[in-house]
Structure 1
Amino acid sequence: MLGLAAAGESEGLWLRAVTQTAGRGRQGRDWVSPRGNLYASTIVRLRPTDPAAATLALVAAVALAEVTAAWTGREPLSLKWPNDLLLDGAKMSGILLERTGDAVVVGIGVNLAHRPEVPGRVTTSLALYGAPDPALFLEELATAFERWLSRWRGEGLAPLREKWLEWAHPKGTALVANLPDGSAIEGLFDGLDADGALILRLADGSTRVIHAGDVFLI
């Protein structure tokens, strides 16, 4: 999809792979891709008045949470910054943003039928609730994504941030953030700032804003 975006493919195209031989997660990690799960991506063409490109992860996350709730109900689902949907506290999806020029490719992987093993992570799948057909799931996801993309563009980040926080794990949840410089910081979830960055409340009562990193529940 990144090649199509670089070649000028228009916004709104979705591609779904039945399986992948070289699936990628964040920071170049392998994404295990058994048949029956969802592997899909779409193109967003950035406009000068759009919010920051990185906040497209929030668009994808909210859309994904809403669609998944049709199978599970809302109670067992929660969002974890920056790109995970959790089911009963276990990872069931991932979101990857890749940019070329004015185009952002939004990649979404969802464990529908299978729960691949991921080192250092507890994973799960929608098979516990009756795995939906990937093509049908994508139809609903694409509709929800377009709706939230329109609001992201037309209303700015504030409504999306508010909705994301409604789906997030509770304030006060203990987290550890592994930062790009190799350091790690522990704190309590204290929401998102106005730009969509993670706020951690530290042991001394101060707060730290995290703009990039891998975040884990403690």
Structure 2
Amino acid sequence: MIVVVAETGSTNADVLDRRGAAERFGEGDWLVADRQSAGRGRLAREWRGGAGNFMGSTCVVLRRDDPPPATLALVVGLALHAATRPLTARDTRLVLKWPNDLLIDGAKLAGILLERSDDRVVIGVGVNLAVAPPVADRAIASLARAGQAPDRDAFAETLAASFSKELARWRTVGLAATLRGWQEAAHPIGTRLSVAPPGEPTLTGKFAGLDDQGNLRLRIGAGVRTIQAGDVALVAGV
């Protein structure tokens, strides 16, 4: 089920609120808004929408044998990549960036926000289909700039189906298959990255893939550092 509302503060907040929307939304359902007045991204950043863009949330009810909940960001990333790839030109560089971004020719096209409440993980997704609202210090892109913006409601249907498929693979085949798929859709091994782990100085190194728990591996000199959380950016010019 996909429910569309004209305006809300935040679709994630609505689905998190067990007294409201969450009582009506089960796993696999989506809440999509034409406009959000209080959209947000990771690290408390504001997420600005725009007319014709996709702003929506769904939830996953965790099971005992599920892989680590944080790896749902990789599941959604794969679903986004699969839903978006057919809408871009073959020579467009569409890649995933750990942990929660989809980039088009180096600029941010889509973002993911995971928020947990008890046994639920609420997943918010924002995709710049029609317009690319400016964000300070970040290159932002839209599908319209790369070609033609798809119909928002048709995109919602495609994304919901893609996410359902990737979620089933995560649960039944296992995390290793998700990790392989994600790395195939990501920027190449050896891509230079800057990483700001919480409370630490910024690190610069080369992308060395993901470990078996979905953490980022960053090659720094002769060693490899495992990053469990942090703000990641591609180093310009390489």
Shared fold per TM-score greater than 0.5: yes
Quote the Cα distance in structure 2 between the aligned partners of 1:81 and 1:165.
10
- How many aligned positions are there? 217
Q: 1:206 to 1:111 in 2, by over 3 A?
A: same
Identify the residue that residue 118 of structure 1 maps to in structure 2: 135
Q: 1:173 aligns with which of 191, 199, 212?
A: 191
Q: 1:150 aligns with which of 163, 168, 178?
A: 168
Q: 2:107 aligns with which of 81, 84, 90?
A: 90
- Indicate the RMSD between aligned Cα atoms, in angstroms: 1.3
**Residue identity in the other structure for 1:40:** G
Quote the Cα distance in structure 2 between the aligned partners of 1:78 and 1:139.
22
Q: 1:32 aligns with which of 41, 48, 65?
A: 48
Q: 2:144 aligns with which of 127, 131, 136?
A: 127
Q: 2:124 aligns with which of 104, 107, 113?
A: 107
Identify the residue that residue 38 of structure 2 maps to in structure 1: 22
Does residue 1:198 correspond to 2:216, yes or no?
A: yes
Where do 4+ consecutive residues of structure 1 move more than 2 Å? Answer: 4-10
Normalised TM-score (structure 2): 0.88
Quote the Cα distance in structure 2 between the aligned partners of 1:13 and 1:68.
20
Quote the Cα distance in structure 1 between the aligned partners of 2:42 and 2:139.
17
Identify the residue that residue 164 of structure 1 maps to in structure 2: 182
Identify the residue that residue 17 of structure 2 maps to in structure 1: 3
Quote the Cα distance in structure 2 between the aligned partners of 1:151 and 1:118.
34
Deviations 1:95-154 (A, max 9, x none): 000000100001100000011111111111000210011111010000000001001011
SS at match of 1:24: coil
Any gaps of 5 or more consecutive residues in structure 1?
none
Quote the Cα distance in structure 1 between the aligned partners of 2:89 and 2:171.
28
Any gaps of 5 or more consecutive residues in structure 2?
1-14
Quote the Cα distance in structure 2 between the aligned partners of 1:58 and 1:95.
9
Deviations 1:144-199 (A, max 9, x none): 00001001011110001000011110111100011111421111000000000000
**Residue identity in the other structure for 1:126:** L
Given that 1:6 and 1:103 are in contact with CA atoms closer than 8 Å, whether structure 2 keeps it comes out as no
Q: 2:81 aligns with which of 65, 69, 73?
A: 65
